[in-house]
Structure 1
Amino acid sequence: MSFISVSKAQQKLSENIRARRLSMELTQEGLAERSGVPLATLRKFEQKGAISLESLLKLLLVVGGLEDIINVLKPTKPTFTSIDDVLKDTRTVSRKRGRKK
């Protein structure tokens, strides 16, 4: 569970991409041209954090980080290879209910 809100995450993503753009010495116009994302979309993203997934991926392709996002979202490998492994697993937590007052 994460304690960061969606709006905070959008803000942080836009700040990080803006910082990468500036470190590459790219203007908004330059990044928009290289990525194929409309300039107005890029400006809105840097100001408000709102952007489509496709446009975000296009920006990451230019400023870097696309592979990192793909790798972070890879599903974890299942820990069970057989039903015996499932039955042997002691990590399962039984449901608990709160007491009535």
Structure 2
Amino acid sequence: MSQYSIIKSPAKVMQELVTKTQQLRKQNGVSQLELAKRSGVSFGSIKRFETTGQISLESLLKIGYFFNRLEDFTTVFKVNEDLKNVEKLFSDKTR
């Protein structure tokens, strides 16, 4: 995908998550070590996340919970609420 694409790459989204997490951590005056202790995520995982973007989903959710941002994850892969089109696929009238 082109670097000028309007669609973000996985790497770009990952870097944005890292940046936002670092901003939250710093705004709250929390060190990496304190975040590790208080969130239940290992210090190594916190450090690796902030340097490479790599982290388990469970650890990322724990960090989100610590910052009271767990609700932000509820919109990930949100399913379309309008199920009328899906219902048509299984309707006897269309078969």
Task: Give TM class, smaller chain.
Answer: 0.7 to 0.9
Q: In structure 2, what is the Cα distance between the partners aligned to 1:76 and 1:25? A: 38
Aligned to 1:12: 16
**Cα offset, 1:23, TM superposition:** 0.6
Which one has the largest radius of gyration?
1
Q: How many residues align?
A: 83
Output the TM-score relative to the length of structure 1. 0.72
Match of 2:28 among 9, 24, 28: 24
Any unmatched runs of 5+ in structure 2?
1-5
- Superposition pairs for residues 5-84 of structure 1, below 5 Å? 5-80=9-84, 83=88
Output the TM-score relative to the length of structure 2. 0.76
**Cα offset, 1:74, TM superposition:** 3.1
* Percent of aligned pairs with the same amino acid: 34
**Comparing both structures, which one devotes a greater share of its residues to helix?**
2
Per-residue CA deviation, residues 44-76 of structure 1 (Å, 9 max, x unaligned), is 100111101000000000123210221354312
RMSD: 2.0
**Cα offset, 1:3, TM superposition:** 1.3
**Cα offset, 1:41, TM superposition:** 0.5
